[in-house]
Amino acid sequence: MKPDDCQTMTEVRYGVDRLDEQIVALLGERFGYMRAAARIKSDRGAVRDEKRKAEVIANVRRHAKDEGVPDKVIADLYERLVEASIAYEFDRYDAMRG
């Protein structure tokens, strides 16, 4: 069911819960790429890449605008997500190299 088809709050909540499950699964996959990056990068200093961070946030802002979603909200969410991803990648990098 699409959001515009919802007639009850039960339907809305079901849709949100279903999407949240999918979003968490996609975030799990995204963090898997952070594990791969930690494994591939040979220099700990390469974990934080401000140029790439800016690129990711610019990309999601553009996608948000294309989808009619508030791009500032998405940029704020991604700021937190990217910082959490960097912290996770540092943890994984350090754990892999003892």
Rg of the chain on CA atoms, in Å? 17
Q: List the domain range (segments joined by +) for residue 50.
A: 8-97
Q: Is 30 annotated as a binding residue?
A: yes
Which pLDDT score, from 0 to 100, does residue 76 have?
A: 98
Give the torsion sign (CA, 37, 33, 84, 50): positive
Q: Is 18 annotated as a binding residue?
A: no
- Reported as a single tens digit per residue, the pLDDT across 3-51 is 999 999 999 999 999 999 999 999 999 999 999 999 999 999 999 999 9
Q: Is 13 annotated as a binding residue?
A: yes
In the chain, the number of structural domains is 1
In a domain, 1, yes or no: no
13: CATH: 1.20.59.10
Question: 93 pLDDT exceeds 90?
Answer: yes
In a domain, 81, yes or no: yes
Q: Is 97 annotated as a binding residue?
A: no
Which pLDDT score, from 0 to 100, does residue 98 have?
A: 80
Q: How far apart are the first and last CA of the chain?
A: 48
Report whether 47 contacts 76 (CB < 8 A). Answer: no
- Reported as a single tens digit per residue, the pLDDT across 42-56 is 999 999 999 999 999
In a domain, 3, yes or no: no
